[in-house]
A and B are shown apart, each in its own frame.
Chain A
Amino acid sequence: MAVTENEALAAINADYEQRYGFRDAENYLYKAPKGLNREIVEKISEFKSEPQWMREFRLKALDHFLSRPQPTWGSPLLAEVDYDDIHYFVRASEKPGRSWDDVPADVKKTFDRLGIPEAERKFLSGVGAQYESEVVYHQVREDLEKQGVIFKDMDSGLREHEDIVREYFATVIPPNDNKLAALNSAVWSGGSFVYVPEGVHVEMPLQAYFRINTENMGQFERTLIIAEPGSYVHYVEGCTAPTYSSSSLHSAVVELIAKPGARIRYTTVQNWSTNVFNLVTKRAVAQEDATVEWVDCNLGSRLTMKYPSVYLLGERAHGEILSIAFAGKGQHQDAGGKIIHAAPNTTSNIFAKSISKDGGRGSYRGLLEIAKGAHGARSKVVCDALLLDEHSRSDTYPTIRIGEDDVNVGHEATVSKVGEDQLFYLMSHGIPEDEASKLIVNGFIEPITKELPMEYAVEMNRLIELQMEGSIG
């Protein structure tokens, strides 16, 4: 074939610089010096006028962070993270505004360019927009507020609903869970606090948008979602940053609690620039008859290590993890998921798809655990990898632990390569080569993109197309 596959496929996020890579001038109210110590942690707590227990929680977490070694598993790129070269707190605005007019002009311009207010008008129940360390805009529809739905930035959540926060905060992911969770617990700022009362269905998604602007910035949002019995909520998050030559760090902690019969769906479209280390801990609890679904799409970042998990603690609980990872030049997407069946008759699915091109590395890392006593549990794990050229890489690291006899577990893994014969077949039907490649990739991820809300599915397909085009000729 005249054009090699490598030539036919484009650079990752071909127009990232133009669409998301812009940067604003820094007119900050406060920017912490680089590095992390007790003084910075105390300063963050002081800025936020937090209760004493949260200040102590942060300081204890800092000790955990400092005493734990950097993990050595996952990716050799982890060794590049320099914790001393990061700004741990940057304040852009006095407090989150409920009107776009309250948002500082340059920050507003950023979110206008990203299309956030427009999206809110069209199809969302509520929006939070985080710029650097803190949320600068927050709004939830009035009718939901009247039903008792709380959707706040986490700082306001702590101030205004301290009792609820204290009861649930860090019960799903304790600060000493791992080094990055400890770091987040010490310096967390922003993120979302969502509380859905019993029986309330939030029909349209709540959305949060996370934006890093500063070079060498660390963003450490903290999200806690509590769905009371029989309730439903869908939370969607998106993330972008300018492209810098030096690294930024994004390390979130996300905790979900689905009470009996509740359902939480959490969708992420992560499109960080390729200088961002994305090291995130996401974990959910599903009680009796509850359902938790993670829809996790990773396109950007230098390195992503993220394995959303669901602990099925109540009988008949259901967990679902749908994961797409796209690893381009210089990227490592180490993604996957974990499901723990801790009660009888629980069910779960993990569907993971990874695409690697231009030397990128996609890994699936997963855990399926069925505890003793979880009889009647059923689970299916499917992980598929698509390699678009000779020098890209795909790895699968599945772990399955089964402590019960009466269970049904399936595991399937495939690795395929876009072959010349597939391209030739489509081209013989008059489809140009670049279109043929896009068709193959879109067909590969379609089972997951169809689960996204329509607007996000369109955006996801557009992003994938962008990644596929540009280098022909």
Chain B
Amino acid sequence: MPEIIDVCPIEELPPGERRLVEWEDLEIGVFNCGGNLYAIEDRCSHDDGPLAEGEFDEENCTVECPRHGSLFDLTTGKPKTLPAYVPVDTFAVIIEDQTIKLEVE
């Protein structure tokens, strides 16, 4: 059963910014690419290291894994470069009452 969790008020995550949230044992990175919001699991599919703290390219809507350089498309979770080849999980982002929320399960 999906659950809806709060991230933050919308004005706290302007374009070009990101935020990390935790839910149970999951860590999720939420990114604002030019006004569009995307959320991915904060775990690189290559070696399970943290991903969301890597270099965020707002224009191309990508994040680069800080450990081995795989570039992930934030809109799909798919890696655009090796060494990762498996997509990371993505989460639906909802805006309700001026608050950013995530659908998790």
CB within 8 Å of B: which residues of A?
64, 170-178, 283, 285, 311, 313, 340, 342, 371
26 contacts between A and B (CB under 8 A): A64-B69, A170-B81, A171-B80, A171-B81, A172-B81, A172-B82, A173-B82, A174-B68, A174-B69, A174-B81, A175-B69, A176-B64, A176-B67, A176-B69, A177-B68, A177-B83, A283-B82, A285-B82, A311-B82, A311-B85, A313-B85, A340-B85, A342-B85, A342-B86, A371-B85, A371-B86
B70 within 8 A of A: yes
Known contacts A64-B69, A172-B81, A283-B82; 17 further A-B pairs (Cβ under 8 A): A171-B80, A171-B81, A174-B70, A174-B81, A174-B82, A175-B69, A176-B64, A176-B67, A177-B82, A178-B68, A283-B83, A313-B85, A340-B85, A342-B85, A342-B86, A371-B85, A371-B86
For chain B, residues 70 to 85, give those with C-beta under 8 angstroms from any C-beta of chain A.
70-71, 80-83, 85
State the CA gap A13–B71 with chains docked (Å). 43
Question: Using Cβ atoms and an 8 Å threshold, which residues of chain B touch A285?
Answer: 82
* In the A-B complex, the 8 residue pairs with the closest CB atoms: A176-B69, A174-B69, A171-B81, A174-B81, A342-B85, A177-B69, A177-B68, A172-B82
Interface Cβ pair total, 8 Å cutoff: 39
State the CA gap A212–B85 with chains docked (Å). 36
Question: Using Cβ atoms and an 8 Å threshold, which residues of chain B touch A342?
Answer: 85-86
Question: Using Cβ atoms and an 8 Å threshold, which residues of chain A touch B82?
Answer: 171-174, 177, 283, 285, 311
Question: Using Cβ atoms and an 8 Å threshold, which residues of chain B touch A371?
Answer: 85-86
Question: Using Cβ atoms and an 8 Å threshold, which residues of chain A touch B69?
Answer: 64, 174-177
A219 vs chain B, min Cβ distance (A): 23
Question: Using Cβ atoms and an 8 Å threshold, which residues of chain B touch A174?
Answer: 64, 68-71, 81-83
State the CA gap A285–B81 with chains docked (Å). 11
Question: Using Cβ atoms and an 8 Å threshold, which residues of chain A touch B67?
Answer: 176
B45 vs chain A, min Cβ distance (A): 10
A466 vs chain B, min Cβ distance (A): 38
State the CA gap A125–B66 with chains docked (Å). 41
State the CA gap A311–B84 with chains docked (Å). 10
State the CA gap A176–B69 with chains docked (Å). 5
A267 vs chain B, min Cβ distance (A): 22
State the CA gap A176–B70 with chains docked (Å). 8
B47 vs chain A, min Cβ distance (A): 12
B58 vs chain A, min Cβ distance (A): 16
State the CA gap A342–B68 with chains docked (Å). 18
Q: Which residue of A lies closest to B85 (CB)?
A: A342
Q: Which residue of B lies closest to A285 (CB)?
A: B82
For chain B, residues 32 to 63, give those with C-beta under 8 angstroms from any C-beta of chain A.
none
Q: Which residue of A lies closest to B67 (CB)?
A: A176
Q: Which residue of B lies closest to A338 (CB)?
A: B83
Q: Which residue of B lies closest to A178 (CB)?
A: B68
State the CA gap A313–B85 with chains docked (Å). 8
Question: Using Cβ atoms and an 8 Å threshold, which residues of chain B touch A340?
Answer: 85
B71 vs chain A, min Cβ distance (A): 7
Q: Which residue of A lies closest to B45 (CB)?
A: A371
State the CA gap A178–B70 with chains docked (Å). 11
